[in-house]
Structure 1
């Protein structure tokens, strides 16, 4: 059985593929769209992707339930968990329209951050893909890298960031690579490999974090926030997944 961990990157999406139980089989690829990853020759049975799945029609509080649940676990890293607004706002044509729609569909009224708005094209992509091909909802799981590292760190938040002012922060990157090594799930060559063209080092690191969750799910592990997952108005799952227990 093949699985994949996926993160967005400048060229589209970066994916780390691996056959369960065979670390040497792992490979890294960049694809222009998510459909190309799920339909790759490996046909990964589980795809753990760092992008929101399942959008609200109305937002209460600080985002979706999964976001509200995991923020307290992440300590200083909780700012990496963006509040995703309503589906109407996510599908808005420009930033001004997105803010207006978000204000009109949230309680308390909230605008959209510029950084969050930058994610909307990829959120729309996965939302459209899952609505067009609902059978993929059994294969694609939403993850968050910092929640994966929280689990790999024994349920403790990481104190060091992986980026500072938009640039990679090497102490934080080393800390996360060390947790991947300690997990014993991935080959050292994969962890130490440079990112492919079109992706940054932190994109690859996040894809590898997703891969650890995919491997755990493939072997009967995993935990979701919330448990059980919710459903949006289109029947798509609403949950962020991580490893069920330290490997």
Structure 2
């Protein structure tokens, strides 16, 4: 995760947290946590995903595929791929299974879902890096992909790095030697998400969609930017 003090990118620090509970227990309290994971899970998936995903995709042009559809809560809580596909198929209209890419994220989604409450929504907000870059780029989707054939793409990452520098990050911070388990794309995404946390703190971020719904636990289903 990237932490910025007083909303200033020049104060940025990189921090590795083992799990979501460790993030919630950070001292001092970051105030606003922008989380790049789905928050709020549908009981039944309709059309092309939650309203949050559909609203975000409308702005992303060629980057739409980076926003995947989250299946039902029952499907997310399946621990093997075959069962997850079966449950997702039964709880979606039109019926659809689960991509392997999405399935591999289920443990993290379950972890966050197990800890989130409506009260935590004053601190914790769902974000998405490509929607963050859209916002930071004057509401224009990035022209280059961040990944090509599931591998980080140098030109796409360089384009995003340049935008982040223009937003106040130092080149030294963005080019630092990274700890094990943290890729360059992870740092760049986290840096963009931290700027959305700043927007949320300032009261100028918007939810997508504006007329978001809540799930069975009372959690809002919205991506902020």
TM range (shorter): over 0.9
Aligned length: 225
> Which string of whole-angstrom CA distances, capped at 9 and with x for unpartnered residues, describes residues 55-110 of structure 1?
00011101101111111211111111111010000001211111110111111001
Q: Aligned to 1:101, which of 87, 107, 111?
A: 87
Q: Secondary structure at the match of 2:212?
A: strand
Give the corresponding residue for 1:16.
Answer: 2
Q: Secondary structure at the match of 1:112?
A: coil
Most deviating of 115-124 and 69-78? 69-78
**Alpha-carbon distance in structure 1 between the residues aligned to 2:28 and 2:178:** 20
Q: Secondary structure at the match of 1:53?
A: coil
Give the corresponding residue for 2:11.
Answer: 25
Post-superposition shift, 1:136?
A: 1.9
- Correspondence list, 1:30-69, <5 A: 30-69=16-55
Post-superposition shift, 1:21?
A: 4.3
Q: Which runs of 5+ in 1 are unaligned?
A: 1-14, 243-247
Q: Secondary structure at the match of 1:157?
A: coil
Give the corresponding residue for 2:56.
Answer: 70
> Which string of whole-angstrom CA distances, capped at 9 and with x for unpartnered residues, describes residues 142-163 of structure 1?
0000001111111111121111
Normalising by structure 1, we get a TM-score of 0.87
Superposed CA RMSD:
1.4
Structure (1 or 2) with the greater strand fraction: 1
Q: Which runs of 5+ in 2 are unaligned?
A: none
Normalising by structure 2, we get a TM-score of 0.95
**Alpha-carbon distance in structure 2 between the residues aligned to 1:73 and 1:195:** 31
Preserved CA contact (<8 Å) 2:9 2:167 = no
Post-superposition shift, 1:230?
A: 2.1
Post-superposition shift, 1:228?
A: 3.9
Preserved CA contact (<8 Å) 2:61 2:141 = yes
Q: Aligned to 2:180, which of 189, 192, 197?
A: 197
Matched, 1:175 2:155: no
